[in-house]
Amino acid sequence: MAKRLDGQMLAALYETSLRASVAQHLATAGSPPGLAVVRVGDDPASGVYVRKKAQACGRVGIKSQIIHHPATASQQEVLESIRQLNANPSCDGILLQLPIPATLDARQLLLAVDPDKDVDGLHPLNLGRLVRGEPGLRSCTPAGVMALLAHGGIALEGIRALVIGRSILVGQPMGIMLQQANATVTMAHSRTRNLSDHCRQAELLVAAAGQPGLVGADWVRPGTVVVDVGIHRVPPQRQGTRGRLCGDVRFAAVEPLASHITPVPGGVGPMTVAMLLCNTVQAWQQRCGSGVRTALVPLPR
In a domain, 238, yes or no: yes
Q: How many structural domains comprise the chain?
A: 2
In a domain, 237, yes or no: yes
* Same domain assignment for residues 106 and 227: no
Q: Would you place residue 239 in the very low, low, confident or very high pLDDT band (cuts 50, 70, 90)?
A: low
* Same domain assignment for residues 178 and 101: no
In a domain, 288, yes or no: no
Q: Would you place residue 172 in the very low, low, confident or very high pLDDT band (cuts 50, 70, 90)?
A: very high
What's 76's domain CATH number?
Answer: 3.40.50.10860
* Same domain assignment for residues 186 and 221: yes
Please give the pLDDT value at position 287: 87
Q: Is 97 a catalytic residue?
A: yes
Which one of 6, 92, 97, 285 is the catalytic residue?
A: 97
* Same domain assignment for residues 166 and 59: no
* Same domain assignment for residues 148 and 214: yes
Q: pLDDT by residue (tens digit) across 10-35?
A: 999 999 999 999 998 898 899 999 99
In a domain, 258, yes or no: yes
Would you say 4 is a known binding-site residue? no
Share of the chain above pLDDT 90, in %: 85
| Residue-number span of the structural domain to which 67 is assigned | 30-114
Would you say 291 is a known binding-site residue? no
In a domain, 125, yes or no: no
Facing residues of 164 across strands? 188, 207
In a domain, 259, yes or no: yes
In a domain, 130, yes or no: no
Q: Is 120 a catalytic residue?
A: yes
* Same domain assignment for residues 144 and 263: yes
Would you say 83 is a known binding-site residue? no
Mean pLDDT of 275-284: 96
Please give the pLDDT value at position 236: 74
Please give the pLDDT value at position 290: 46
Q: Would you place residue 299 in the very low, low, confident or very high pLDDT band (cuts 50, 70, 90)?
A: very low
Does the pLDDT at position 291 exceed 80? Answer: no
Mean pLDDT of 130-138: 94
Higher pLDDT, 297 or 186: 186
Does the pLDDT at position 163 exceed 50? Answer: yes
Question: 105: Cβ–Cβ under 8 A, 6 or more apart, which residues?
Answer: 75
* Same domain assignment for residues 101 and 142: no
Mean pLDDT of 101-112: 96
* Same domain assignment for residues 150 and 80: no
Q: Would you place residue 141 in the very low, low, confident or very high pLDDT band (cuts 50, 70, 90)?
A: very high
What's 230's domain CATH number?
Answer: 3.40.50.720
Which one of 6, 92, 116, 120 is the catalytic residue?
A: 120
Please give the pLDDT value at position 292: 44
* Same domain assignment for residues 72 and 142: no
In a domain, 54, yes or no: yes
Would you say 231 is a known binding-site residue? yes
Please give the pLDDT value at position 142: 97
Q: Would you place residue 301 in the very low, low, confident or very high pLDDT band (cuts 50, 70, 90)?
A: very low
Sign of CA dihedral 254, 259, 262, 263: positive
Query: Mean pLDDT over all residues of the chain?
Result: 93
> Comparing 181-185, 187-191, 297-301, which segment has the lowest mean pLDDT?
297-301
Q: Would you place residue 145 in the very low, low, confident or very high pLDDT band (cuts 50, 70, 90)?
A: very high
